[in-house]
Amino acid sequence: MAKIVVQNLTKIYGDEPRKALELLRDGYSKEEILTRTGQTVAVGGISFEVKEGETFILMGLSGSGKSTVIRCINRLLEPTTGSICVDGKRVEEMDKRELRAFRGQKIGMVFQQFALFPHRTVLDNVAFGLETKGVPKGERYERSEEILVRVGLAGWKAKRPDELSGGMKQRVGLARALAVDPDILLMDEPFSALDPLIRNEMQEELLSLQQRIKKTIIFVTHDLGEGLKLGDRMAIMRDGRIDQTGTGKEIFSHPANDYVAKFVQKVDVTRMLTAEEIMIQPGEILNLLEGPQLAIRKMELCDTDYIFVIGRDRKLKGIVWVKDALKLAEKGEKGIQGILKQADTVHPTTSIEDIYLRMGRTGRSLAVVDGGGNFMGAVTARSILSLLAEGRKGP
Ligand SMILES: Nc1ncnc2c1ncn2[C@@H]1O[C@H](COP(=O)(O)OP(=O)(O)OP(=O)(O)O)[C@@H](O)[C@H]1O
Ligand SMILES: [Mg+2]
């Protein structure tokens, strides 16, 4: 279900928006409108929906209108025209009282610049939103301390912002937004000012936090890699308009125009693939009831030194290595139970990056197993190599 619906949103800076709107309707560009009227079209009529629990990315170069959109959603800026619905309620029609409740409870915002109170402690900064909501002091601090633990700042509550690093300040900002437990988080380039390592760390933490808290998030970034990593879907903005909306994969495989194609071509597409998409069906697999002789023959057939073993129920039971099977066959044993080893497994949705890491460590093939333990396929060194070869050819 759509949590946020934005329709035909425009925001024009200047004292004669009507003139600019007319030209906009007639198809004039942002630049032409500026020269003719002196009005800046920050947002030139955009529509999109964000689903409940989704992380939606607004992506675009500097000046494309991302911050303006996000600030119209909680009406830090008044839209010039258009409508914004949150949970079916029109934000632009809210009166002062409704707006205060909306901002205080439903929506939290994290900015690029930390926007912390310099003279307050970390704890007081986090508790600020609860204070304005009239939550009693004891409860306020209790909740804020909990949130500080969640964002990894438990020991820092008595410090002041200038005693913290950039990454930590941003955690305080996030904690402050989360303290009031809003349904929606608006995040405007929250990690852009951080250096790459800290930034990566913060991204990972947001991902794992989001798995637990499942907020609806609009996340602004001009970094495509960050957008792909964090987002379920994204909108690519240019000059106040949206060129394309979709999942990263959709946008990569079918860019709507040359601009989008250029914008995304820098990113390595293979990075977005998952185990499910690169796995192969092994030439042979062994049934739990089959013996070492057959195991050896099957391994010879597919020229491997291992074979995955499954039960009648298609569930993965383990792996058998050829050296163990040979020993067993020599002894004349019939069952393979004794040499069955635990196989390295990955989930169908495991990212290629994680697969690289896992295989890099062991060099072994990985069995792809779903949540129910069913064997789905295998990721082998060969499947990775062929993928790299394909990548070479280019799109
Ligand atoms: N207060 C303002 N008055 C006039 N024009 C403004 C104002 N704020 C923004 N603009 C203009 O509106 C357009 C969109 O700005 P906005 O800040 O939304 O872009 P952005 O995509 O967030 O950029 P950045 O990545 O640099 O943050 C720009 O052309 C900008 O110059
Ligand atoms: Mg901005």
The CATH number covering residue 261 comes to: 3.40.50.300
Domain identity same for 103 and 173? yes
Mutation to probe ligand 1, out of 37, 46, 57, 64 (largest number of atoms < 8 A from CB): 64
Domain identity same for 280 and 244? no
Q: CA 240 to CA 386: how far, in whole Å?
A: 41
- pLDDT of res. 115: 79
User: Counting beta carbons within 10 angstroms of the beta carbon of residue 119, is it exposed (0 to 12), middle (13 to 18) or buried (19 or more)?
Assistant: exposed
Q: How do the pLDDT tens digits run along the chain, 395 residues long?
A: 799 999 999 999 999 899 999 999 999 999 999 999 999 999 999 999 999 999 999 999 999 999 999 999 999 999 999 999 999 999 999 999 999 889 888 999 888 776 789 899 999 999 988 888 888 999 999 999 998 988 888 899 999 998 988 888 888 988 888 888 899 999 999 888 777 777 888 888 888 888 888 999 999 998 888 898 899 999 999 999 999 999 988 898 899 999 999 888 866 666 677 888 889 999 899 999 999 999 999 999 988 999 999 999 999 999 999 999 999 999 998 899 999 999 999 999 888 878 888 887 777 899 999 989 999 999 998 777 777 666 544 44
Domain identity same for 208 and 187? yes
Taking CB atoms and a 6 Å cutoff, what residues make up the pocket around ligand 1? 13, 40, 42, 60, 62-68, 222
Rounded distance from Cα 362 to ligand 2 centre (Å): 44
Domain identity same for 47 and 146? yes
- Which of 238, 268, 298 is the last residue before a domain boundary? 268
Task: Give the number of domains in the chain.
Answer: 2
Q: CA 363 to CA 60: how far, in whole Å?
A: 39
CB 54 within 8 A of CB 222: no
- Which of 209, 239, 268 is the last residue before a domain boundary? 268
**For the CA of 240, the nearest atom of ligand 1:** 14
Rounded distance from Cα 315 to ligand 1 centre (Å): 55
Domain identity same for 251 and 290? no
Rounded distance from Cα 255 to ligand 2 centre (Å): 24
Look at ligand 1, atom 5, and give the residue with the nearest C-alpha.
13
The pTM (predicted TM-score) of the whole model is 0.73
Domain identity same for 263 and 283? no
Closest CA to 375 of 273, 271, 288: 288
Give the residue numbers spanning the domain of 377.
Answer: 275-393
**For the CA of 14, the nearest atom of ligand 1:** 4
- Edge-first strand listing for the sheet containing 241-246: 107-110, 184-188, 216-221, 55-60, 233-238, 241-246
